[in-house]
Amino acid sequence: MNSDDQEFKPYIPADKITPELTVTSIIMGIILAVVFGGANAYLGLRIGSTVSASIPAAVISMGVIRLIMHKDSILESNMVQTIGSAGESLAGASIFTMPALFLWANEGITGDPDILTISLIALFGGVLGVLFMIPLRNALIVKEHGILPYPEGTACAEVLLAGEKGGAAAKVVFSGMGIAAVFKFIVDGVKIVPYAIIARIDALKTEFSTEVYPTLIGVGYICGAKISAYMFAGGMLGWFVLIPAIVIFGGDSVVYPGTETIAKIYEEGGAIRIWDLYIRYIGAGMVAAGGIISLLKSLPLIVKTFADAIKGLKDSGKDGKLRTEKNLHPAVVIIGLALLVLGIWLVPQIPTTLPGAIMIVVFGFFFGTVSSRMVGLVGSTNNPTSGMTIATLLLATFLLKITGNTGPSGMVGAITIGSIVCIIAAIAGDTSQDLKTGFILGATPMKQQIGELIGTVVSAFTIGGILLLLDKAWGFGTPELSAPQATLMKMIVEGVMAGNLPWILIFIGIFIAVTVEVLGVPVLPVALGLYLPLELSTTVMIGGGIRAFTDYLNKKKTGKSEDDAGAGVLFCSGLIAGEGLVGIILAVLAVIGLGDMIDLSGYLNTGMIGGIVLMILIIISVVIPALKKK
């Protein structure tokens, strides 16, 4: 144990008892878990990326508990964000894999997934992720304090500590939610403004496009200019290098998976059709390679973390007498793990055998430990969860194939195993960040762990309904919900099982990834930009550009850039939540048949001018709070 550990004193002393796991914190946490879980599911299905809800949840809880209820309880606010962020993490991991089940059902390969199956997969993965972190808390959070910074967890603690002086920042989040709700309703509700500005450039055999959704600008702002630029660079590579090259050099050739000449495909379908048939597979190869590369680069850290975690297990049951050292009893963890293994094996909705259930637990504990260590060093955003999931899917699919479990049942089994492991890794990372926040503030670990379980269970039974609703309203794999990560996982499983992928295109993507890595550029954001339509990357880049511009002005005025608790970041978090919520509301209206009744596009359509005006208004709405004095 380092010296920092000996001297560290939490904000709330261990001998002081304050409200934590109360009716208020549980109800508010559950509401935020559902809200941010739904918003993150919608966001991830649109662009293949999610954002952390811990800080927005902390700000909202702080505002409600302090300003509205006039209560002074920082640990109660911390419990709200603990429960709320669990929903965001579980939803984010679920949409990376499980929409593949809906895609196969829509293709007639398998039956329709039901809400119970989706919820049980999410439940098993989420609860395993929390249970795995309980015996590891002492090794990774306590003993490594001062070594592992856990950026989001530390930032969330700073937000809550700052809130002791006032919770006005909550208003910024709510204003972002309201503005995004209005813009989203204008574009996708009454539909008087087109969702994208598109300019076809036949001289270059391509097109330039950008969407006018506030959430994408919010994502770009939160990620920052550098990551946004990497993503935009991937889009430019695809749409202004590869697509023109394919059209010009392909000409009258018929290239698999296309069934007509490339010239005819471009003439009839434009650049988007070339992207769909060819660039998407190149991007899939690049994303897969990027995930594996990030995993391989982390191998030394993975081995060290796993070894330290195993050593730390022997001390896991030795709680101290202090309130801040109390974890859930080891017996709860052991009995819970045993019941979950039996459940994964015996519950008919989970198509796995006993060896499959054991594989899930082994892989889950390994990757859960890795995930916790990784987010402690580089934050949740840079956690290579996709690489872990891809590695799990490749091995699981290969083992199922050689044991004769092929066809639809084998594919569903592989996705099920991959889904549970992906959720375990995501929840373990989120639990680690929350426990770090609690460690700094002086929360009771046992109560936080109960809060994590509450948020996980509630979100697990919510995500099934959200996925069914979104699929019925728009369908996965459509322009509205491209589900890029799940589509990639589906392609990997199909490729191993049937060998029917255009491997040449995939290997082109793999070697582009290797080239980018050799140049020292982060592969995954570039790969994601190549894999997604350009209109998404362009809008994200606009958000990143706004962040660079406002940071420059703020630094010139105050001497420092905005941090993770700044007004601009909080406002953009509100944008993401607001658009996600309205997206789900519009999905409900579409399912019950009211969507067409509010559609005014037949009476008023502002065209490209309307899109440009709306884009300018979105930009102004972000710049104003970002430049305000914090």
- Confidence class for position 5, pLDDT limits 50, 70, 90: very low
Residue 595 has a pLDDT of 75
DSSP-assigned letter for residue 213: -
pLDDT tens-place string over residues 209-243: 998 988 889 888 877 888 889 989 999 999 999 99
Measured CA to CA, the distance from residue 238 to residue 232 in angstroms comes to 10
Residue 306 has a pLDDT of 63
Averaged pLDDT for residues 22-40: 88
Residue 538 has a pLDDT of 93
Residue 548 has a pLDDT of 92
CA distances from 223 to 380, 426, 627 (A): 12, 19, 18
Which region among 34-43, 239-248, 437-446, 540-549 has the lowest average model confidence (pLDDT)?
Answer: 34-43
- Whether 578 contacts 179, CB under 8 Å: yes
pLDDT > 70? residue 380? no
- Plot region of 606 (φ>0 → left; ψ -120 to 50 → alpha; else → beta): alpha
pLDDT > 90? residue 567? no
What is the pLDDT of the chain when averaged over all its residues?
83
pLDDT > 80? residue 309? no
Structure tokens at 462: 């919510």
Looking at per-residue pLDDT, the higher value among 261 and 581 belongs to 261
Measured CA to CA, the distance from residue 493 to residue 393 in angstroms comes to 7
Which region among 239-248, 538-547, 598-607 has the lowest average model confidence (pLDDT)?
Answer: 598-607
Residue 73 has a pLDDT of 80
- Confidence class for position 562, pLDDT limits 50, 70, 90: low
pLDDT > 60? residue 564? no
Which region among 92-106, 144-158, 238-252, 414-428 has the lowest average model confidence (pLDDT)?
Answer: 144-158
Averaged pLDDT for residues 255-271: 88
Total-model pTM: 0.73
Cis peptide before 257 (omega within 30 of 0): yes
Structure tokens at 377: 């060093």
Looking at per-residue pLDDT, the higher value among 37 and 291 belongs to 37
Identify which of 338, 341, 350 has the alpha carbon closest to the alpha carbon of residue 116: 350
Residue 370 has a pLDDT of 74
Residue 2 has a pLDDT of 45
pLDDT > 60? residue 529? yes
Distance of CA 336 to the CA centre of its chain: 27
Residue 396 has a pLDDT of 86
Structure tokens at 109: 């390969």
- Confidence class for position 15, pLDDT limits 50, 70, 90: confident
Measured CA to CA, the distance from residue 487 to residue 477 in angstroms comes to 7
Phi/psi of residue 224, nearest 5 degrees? 95, 170
- Whether 265 contacts 245, CB under 8 Å: no
> What's at 590, amino acid-wise?
A
Identify which of 566, 572, 539 has the alpha carbon closest to the alpha carbon of residue 554: 566
Task: Please give the share of the chain, as a percent, with pLDDT higher than 70.
Answer: 88
Residue 119 has a pLDDT of 93
Residue 573 has a pLDDT of 76
Task: Please give the share of the chain, as a percent, with pLDDT higher than 90.
Answer: 28
Residues whose CB falls within 8 Å of the CB of residue 217, separated by 6 or more in sequence, listed in order? 539, 540, 542, 543, 546, 572, 575, 618, 619, 622
pLDDT > 60? residue 314? no
- Whether 468 contacts 591, CB under 8 Å: no
Measured CA to CA, the distance from residue 50 to residue 75 in angstroms comes to 26
pLDDT tens-place string over residues 167-201: 566 678 778 888 988 998 998 888 898 888 889 99
Residues whose CB falls within 8 Å of the CB of residue 602, separated by 6 or more in sequence, listed in order? none
Looking at per-residue pLDDT, the higher value among 432 and 301 belongs to 432
When mean pLDDT is compared over 282-286, 514-518, 558-562, the highest value belongs to 514-518
Half-sphere exposure in the Cβ direction for 28 (13 Å, CA): 25
- Confidence class for position 1, pLDDT limits 50, 70, 90: very low
Identify which of 513, 100, 502 has the alpha carbon closest to the alpha carbon of residue 291: 513
